Amino acid sequence: MIWPGWKLYRAKPDGLAKSKVSNRVVENINVLEGWVYYIDHLDHNSINKVRPDGTDETKLVEGYCWHLYVAASCMYFDRRDENNMPQVCRADLDGGNLSLLVPDMSVAYYYQGQVYYNNTQELGIYDIPTGSRKTLARTYTNNVSVDNSGIYYWAVDQGEFHHINAADGADSLIMPGGDFFNYSRGNLYYMGIGANEKGPYHVVNRLNLAQKETTLLIEEANEYFDSQGDWLGITFKQWHEHPETVDPALLDEIDGGLKNGFNESVGYVYTVGEHL
């Protein structure tokens, strides 16, 4: 499922045979047993479902919802309360039996019958069968991933990526620095910093955790181009450190910015099979 223009489409893995499924502005797409579940951005982040052929589109849960995970016979998500605080909730696949699981937390991940939750002070785990809760880390976390080897997370305030061992619960540092982390099948994908004769630029790296080997996958161009894709001859370094050297003809008369200047921007890297 892809969503050009924020609309929901269906396509083969190679991008062919694309067809529109919904005109809703969608986020948090999940697919399970012949249904596509999503959050409707323009309807106050309500949760909806639709058939892959675009039929039977139905609203399931009202309210400002986010971080949707659909698994087995339930939906797990966080929902804002009257004080605009996220609350970890569950609901049946038809939207019924809505219930609160963890107050004042957001859903960080779902894995094998357990919901991982966090806020700016804590990362914890909610065991669905027993309803028990356990604190895993007392820090601000992001980019949480879980597999049989344990829990992976970005410690925001420390600027570090960590691993909690599934066997003994030991918390260890994987690496400092970096951004936009995504752990997948023994590899950590993240944004790093590189440099060449034109100055610094962002890169996408892959760290193999078993072999502790880092591979450079993508280099971001560190200069600006116009709407036709032609280089303007202005590097990031020049623009940020010596903007007075830029040709005035390239500047916007209103705000002083580049009036036809664009740049590449690296963010999260997702893996689908053998593809990025």
The answer on 136 and 72 residing in a single domain is yes
Residue 62 has pLDDT above 90, yes or no: yes
The answer on 142 and 74 residing in a single domain is yes
The pair phi, psi for residue 153, each rounded to 5°, is -155, 155
The answer on 206 and 186 residing in a single domain is no
**Do residues 105 and 125 touch, judged by C-beta distance below 8 A?**
no
The answer on 202 and 186 residing in a single domain is no
pLDDT the model gives residue 272: 74
- pLDDT tens for 6-47 read 889 998 877 788 899 999 999 999 999 999 999 999 999 999
Q: Which of 191, 222, 251 is the last residue of a domain?
A: 191
Sheet with 199-208, edge to edge strand ranges: 179-184, 187-196, 199-208, 213-219
The answer on 226 and 180 residing in a single domain is no
Q: Which of 174, 191, 208 is the last residue of a domain?
A: 191
Query: Which residues lie below 8 Å from residue 233, measured CB to CB, with a gap of 6+?
Result: 223
DSSP code string of 132-182: -EEEEESS-EEEEEEETTEEEEEETTTTEEEEEETTT--EEEEEES-EEEE
* Maximum separation of any 2 CA atoms in the chain, in Å: 66
pLDDT the model gives residue 186: 95
Closest CA to 127 of 145, 102, 150, 152: 102
pLDDT the model gives residue 44: 94
Tokens of 168: 């003994």
Which of 22-26, 54-58, 141-145, 265-269 is least confident? 265-269
- What is the mean pLDDT of the segment spanning 92-117? 98
pLDDT the model gives residue 260: 87
Q: What's the CATH code of the domain at 70?
A: 2.120.10.30
pLDDT the model gives residue 276: 79
**Do residues 25 and 42 touch, judged by C-beta distance below 8 A?**
yes
* C-alpha distances in Å from residue 141, one per residue of 100, 181, 270: 22, 12, 19
Q: Which of 136, 163, 191 is the last residue of a domain?
A: 191
Q: For residues 39 and 35, give the distance between their C-alpha atoms in angstroms, rounded to a whole number.
A: 13
Residue type, position 166, single letter: A
The answer on 261 and 157 residing in a single domain is no
The answer on 263 and 156 residing in a single domain is no
Beta strands 213-219 and 99-102, pairing class: unpaired
- pLDDT tens for 209-223 read 999 999 999 999 999
Confidence of residue 273 (pLDDT cuts 50, 70, 90): confident
The answer on 219 and 271 residing in a single domain is yes
- What is the mean pLDDT of the segment spanning 252-272? 86
The answer on 227 and 178 residing in a single domain is no
The answer on 155 and 101 residing in a single domain is yes
Q: Which range marks the domain in which residue 100 is found?
A: 4-191
The answer on 198 and 179 residing in a single domain is no
DSSP state of 56: S
Residue type, position 220, single letter: E
pTM (2 d.p.) = 0.88
Beta strands 150-155 and 141-147, pairing class: antiparallel
How many structural domains are present in the chain?
A: 2
The answer on 202 and 176 residing in a single domain is no
pLDDT the model gives residue 210: 96
